[in-house]
Structure 1
Amino acid sequence: MLPILPTDILPTWVRGHYETWLYMIGIFVLLKPIAYLTLRILAQQYTYTVFIRKSDEAYDMLLGWIFAAGIDKGARSVIARVGVRGGGLIEEEAAAAAGPSPKNNNKKRITFSPWNGALLFWFHGRPVYFKTHMRQVGLLQEEEVTVVSLGRSAAPLRNLLEECRQLHLRQTEQRVAIFGNHGSAWSKEASRVARPLSTVAMDRDTKEQLVADMARFVNPATQRWYAQRGIPYRRGYLFYGQPGTGKTSLSLSVAGHFDLDIYRIQVSGITDDSLKQLFEKLPERCVVLLEDVDVIAKSRAASGGGSPSGADSGHPADAAVGTTMSGLLNIIDGVSSQEGRILIMTTNYAARLDAALVRPGRIDVRVEFPLADRNAAKNLFDLVYRNPVDPTEDSSSEKDKLHLLADSFASKLPERQVSPAEVMSFLLQYQESPQQAVDCVQEWLASRASRQLQN
């Protein structure tokens, strides 16, 4: 039988040590803030900290490295998202990296990333502390990452971020990152496989001249030449033509060709101040895509600003435009405009544009995108039906047959009356049968003409 202790032994012991307990509690209360302050001072003196906001591309680089290293598996607090991984990889990229899978297995993928918690890992023999938290930015909250390394040297974390950057560049090689504006901030919208220049149907000489001009501009020797003469290192291009003629497609292609990211700005609904901040936040090497700049001319005409070319165009003015012509002009070549960038403006209505907007110095090269001629139609036909992996694998007879079909197809198309986008849309209906595309093209043209008459 177990011995039975007196029921009053604990109260007696506590009463006997009452003063001791009060003394210990008092010391704890007194020393707690001192200990906390001491730890803060030690942390400030013997650790190095880097803060990274989610809106910055460095966030994608760091999260991508953490995923690749498998460090995220140690997180005890995560956030689940549909479609987006850490590291900025969108849903289709993650699916492509995973390889083939059963139907719908990659649809609406749920991915997990560290959230509102901490991770401890080792980098080159040094402990690194990683923590995510929410930061108040005005009326909104933004996720922020804190990375802390032990020691007073900045080198370990800088080496870590450089390793993250190199991994990110390898992962995104042959891809074009597309950034869009949300207010006065940039955010990554998508990442696309770089489109070869050969897939853009346009005059070969015009394309080659444009690419050669851009190649000269991005050459480091050109940058030194500009700097030595005190000339702002910027280049502007105007792409104009009817819808569907390849203006945006060529912009994506040249960005991929020169390994540049695209920063796309919709000038409608954005103020001059926000546009100025966006230009100030641009990286040194990039393509800035200003689409449909004629919308500013329409707004100016509607408000009595005197845009003669847009006043009788018959198109409704967009009263919601916030960017003014004077604001845009000052931002494009103002002192705060980032150097090293390539500016591409696109418009369907070149005649509406203010002469000050497209003067030399702001626009250096103008490229017209006409409707498809027969040569462009042949190139599109060849693009759709040739062997995409290795064109040399096609037999000589198959090449000859495809060449004859391309000639026959192009001969049935009216010159400069159909856009390349329309031709491509038609060909994709018969992507497995070039002969059927040739047989059906006249019927398609008749149907298209009938719809145009009705409209």
Structure 2
Amino acid sequence: MRQKAAINQLLETAFPGANPENGTSGPTAISPTTLLETFVPGYGPIHKFLLYSFGFDVTVLVTFGVVCWLSARIFRSTWGIVHSLVSANYMAEITVSSTDEIHGHLIAFLAHQYKINSSRRLMAETPSKSAWELDSEETETPETTVDAEGNIKWLNFSNQEAKSQPRFTPAIGSHNFWHKGTYFQLRRKEVAMFDELGGGAAAFKDKELLTLSCFGRTTEPIKKLIQHAKAHYHLGHNAKTVIKRPAPKDMRRFGGRGSWVKIAERPCRPMKTVVLDEERKLDVLSDINEYLNPATARWYANRGIPYRRGYLFYGPPGTGKTSLTFALAGVFGLDIHVVSLLEPTLTEEELGMLFTNLPARCIVLLEDIDTAGLIREPSDSDEKNAPAEGEQGSTDFNVANLTKALKKANQLSEEEKKKGISLSGLLNIIDGVASHEGRVLVMTTNHPEKLDDALIRPGRVDHQVAFSNATQTQIKELFERMYSNDLPRTKLILSSPQSSTKALPTIVEDEKKPLSNGLAISNGKAYTLTPPDTPITATSVTPEENGKMVTNGHAKTSIEKPTTQADISESELHEIAQKFAHQIPNDMFSPAEIQGFLLKRKKDPRRALEEVGVWVEGMVDVKRKGGKLVSVQ
């Protein structure tokens, strides 16, 4: 009886409107059990079985679960409404597309942030690094193999890929982070983009959208974050030269700064390593420095002169034309945009778009312009001046017809002409009405006599620099630079642009007047102008930090110290360099040929002096015979 009374009391608590003894309920009472039996078939027998067998009312648990689910739904809906109101009225956001270079700046900055801060949702990427970047990493130590006696034999980099550290970036989705006291929300999303490939073909490609948002009614914090990311991306840029080339055809069709892609990043080349007459170096440096001065742009505009500058570097192969271009880019902190006019997919319209999307100040390099196949198309007057067919004899008539037939056979069709770059198209792009201003155009050639006169006229080429084979003075400088004492290993470090940027010399006509002999007058005093050094920020790494290797069971430093150079004093090196230069004729060998000879003997200057006579005889014999392969190296 007590058990039955307890069950009845429990039923009355669960279903207050029900009468457990007669199974009736009030006319207005609707129990949860009735509702559950209506929507869940078979719920009644299960409920009675659990209630009478174990004394457990499952209706209470089900009711609690339904209440929690409804509460979650209501909370989510309420949160969505509140979030929408806050986002629309009290949050600011900026969206960046993956087709813009700012996207890469932000991803690199976030990769650096998430390398320091922990996160549970990341995306791993394999970064591509150059030899210079690997050399600056702490993990870059040379792997070696040893022989039976434990002596070092050969370097081995078989584990180089295994030691390469991946880059971690935020995964696709939403992320939150703090930066300088501001709370930011990051959303990465991929969207499908319909891309028409031309010729009736099309494809869907994924494009990523990166959205940054923060609390407030202004976007200033986000703008500062993006500017900080750009500054972080370009840290140490004053010690590097960036080389860019046109993007693939399917990317450059959309225009913008994404039309150019970075293909290499190299340490700045010091100007003193360029084998060229000092006066010519100073002449080019002063001319470019004056041209890049912001006041020069206003001077050009006030006089209606297009603000453009073109240079032609001409001379034999291996004389330093491209080297001077790289050194100039390092001195003035400019990126190099390399364009190949022989690329089959490059059209005149795309080349014009590439020039339009150049940065405000940069160097555009057109190498070997004489091999670009720029041919002036015959005009109507040339065709009218051609002799008529009936004015010649039978023999001449046949020869003329044969020549005309061969000419027509070799001519490209109109469709094929549209795929290449014509001379008139290049001229319009260089100095046409819609041509880009502010850039420094550098054209190099080994055969200036092959260039069209219209291409190198003033206004398109404003400064011509002649390069020649090495003189004995230049050979001596090249020898001394090759065998000078090595500095400790340097590592490029990231530093703020404000503290590491070195002021470039600015030559103002009112204060400094350069003379033809390399002198300048300032405040009535004459002094010698010297080419500015390439700005670089570096820190020395001691041999202990450069990694260790095991030899005979003992750890030794992995730096291989030159033994022969340490025995040579500076005065002796000058004497050897003088003797070496006297054995090489003037203006016969290019600096590249001499440097190639010295590189094979880069640690033994005495050996280079002993073997240079045999090398000169062999090279002179090869040049006299017109050969290309040398037997003496």
TM-score bin, normalised by smaller chain: 0.7 to 0.9
| Cα distance in 2 for residues equivalent to 1:275 and 1:343 | 14
Q: Is the 8 A contact 2:374 2:421 kept in 1?
A: no
Equivalent residue for 2:375, pick from 290, 294, 300 = 300
Instruction: Please state how far the C-alpha of 1:366 moved relative to its aligned partner.
Output: 0.7
Q: In the TM superposition, what whole-angstrom CA distance separates every residue of 1:93-117 from its partner, at most 9, and x where no partner exists?
A: 1541436535249833242232434
Map 1:2-17 → 2, pairs under 5 A: 12=33, 15=36
| 1:360 paired to 2:440 | no
Q: Distance in 2 between matches of 1:52 and 1:72?
A: 23
TM-score w.r.t. the length of structure 1 is 0.82
Is the contact made by 2:374 and 2:423 (CA closer than 8 Å) also made in structure 1?
Answer: no
Which amino acid in the other structure matches residue 569 of structure 2? E
Match of 2:21 in 1: none
1:397 CA drift (Å)? 7.9
Structure 1, 421-430 or 97-106: larger mean CA deviation: 97-106
SS in structure 2 at match of 1:74: coil
Deviation by residue 1:172-196 (Cα, 9 ceiling, x = unmatched): 2211111111233101111111111
Question: Which of the residues 166, 170, 192 maps onto 1:111?
Answer: 166
- Change in 2 beyond 3 A, CA 1:116/1:354: farther
Map 1:369-388 to 2 at 5 A: 369-388=467-486
Deviation at 1:78? Answer: 0.7
Q: What whole-Å deviation, never above 9, does each CA across 1:257-306 have from its counterpart, x for those lacking one?
A: 0111111111212211111111111110111111222233x3527x8799
Cα offset, 1:71, TM superposition: 5.7
8 A contact 2:601–2:607 mirrored in 1: yes
Q: Deviations over 1:417-442 (max 9, x none)?
A: 21111111111111111111111112
Query: Which residue pairs with 1:123 in the alignment?
Result: 179
SS of corresponding position for 1:173 = helix
Provide the C-alpha distance between the structure 1 equivalents of 2:85 and 2:438, rounded to a whole number of angstroms: 43
Give the alignment of 1:397-408 within 5 angstroms.
398-408=569-579
Q: Where does structure 1 lack aligned partners over 5 or more consecutive residues?
A: 85-89, 307-316
Which residue pairs with 2:539 in the alignment? none
Residue 273 (1) aligns with residue 349 (2): yes
- Deviating more after overlay: 285-294 vs 394-403: 394-403
Q: CA 1:26/1:17 → structure 2, altered by over 3 Å: closer, same or farther?
A: farther
**Shift of residue 14 of structure 1?**
5.4
How do 1:250-269 residues align onto structure 2 when only pairs under 5 Å count? 250-269=324-343
1:246 and 1:75 map into 2 onto residues whose CA distance is 52
Rounded Cα–Cα distance in structure 1 between residues aligned with 2:134 and 2:210: 23
1:61 pairs with 102, 105, 114, which one?
105
Q: Output the amino acid matched with 1:434.
A: P
Q: Is the 8 A contact 1:201 1:376 kept in 2?
A: yes
Measured at CA, do residues 11 and 245 of structure 1 come closer, stay the same or move farther in structure 2, by a change above 3 Å?
A: farther
Q: Flag the 1:167–1:30 CA change in 2: closer, same or farther, 3 A.
A: closer
CA distance 1:94–1:122, shift in 2 (3 Å): farther
Q: 1:238, CA displacement in angstroms?
A: 0.9
In 1, the alpha carbon distance for the partners of 2:227 and 2:602 equals 45
Equivalence for 2:234: 169
Asked if residue 340 in structure 1 is aligned to residue 395 in structure 2, the reply is no
How far apart in 1 are the matches of 2:168 and 2:339? 29
Q: Percent identity?
A: 32
TM-aligned CA distance change 1:172 to 1:147, over 3 Å: same
Q: Which residue number in structure 1 is paired with residue 321 of structure 2?
A: 247
Task: Find the structure with the greater CA-based Rg.
Answer: 2
- 2:136 is the counterpart of 1:96: yes
- Matched with 2:54 is none
CA RMSD of superposed structures (Å): 4.0
Residues 93, 105 of structure 1: CA spacing in aligned structure 2 closer, same or farther, 3 A cutoff? Answer: farther
Please point out which of 87, 94, 103 is paired with 1:50: 94
Q: What is the CA-CA distance between 1:450 and the residue it aligns to? A: 4.9
TM-score scaled to structure 2, two decimals? 0.60
Measured in 2, the distance between the counterparts of 1:27 and 1:327 equals 70
CA contact (8 A) 1:75 1:119 kept: no
TM-superposed CA distance for 1:199, in Å, is 0.3
**Cα distance change, pair 209–99 in 1 and its aligned pair in 2 (3 A):** farther
Q: Which residue of 2 aligns with 1:331?
A: 429
1:188 equivalent in structure 2: 262
Cα shift readout 1:54-103 (whole Å, capped 9, x = no counterpart): 4533234323332443467426131321425xxxxx56415414365352
Match of 1:417 in 2: 588
Letter in 2 for 1:158: K
Q: Which residue of 1 aligns with 2:494?
A: none
Moved more, 372-381 or 169-178: 169-178
Q: Does residue 154 in structure 1 map to residue 175 in structure 2?
A: no
SS in 2 for 1:266: coil
How far 1:41 moved relative to its partner? 6.5
Separation in structure 2 between the aligned mates of residue 209 and residue 355 of structure 1, nearest angstrom: 24
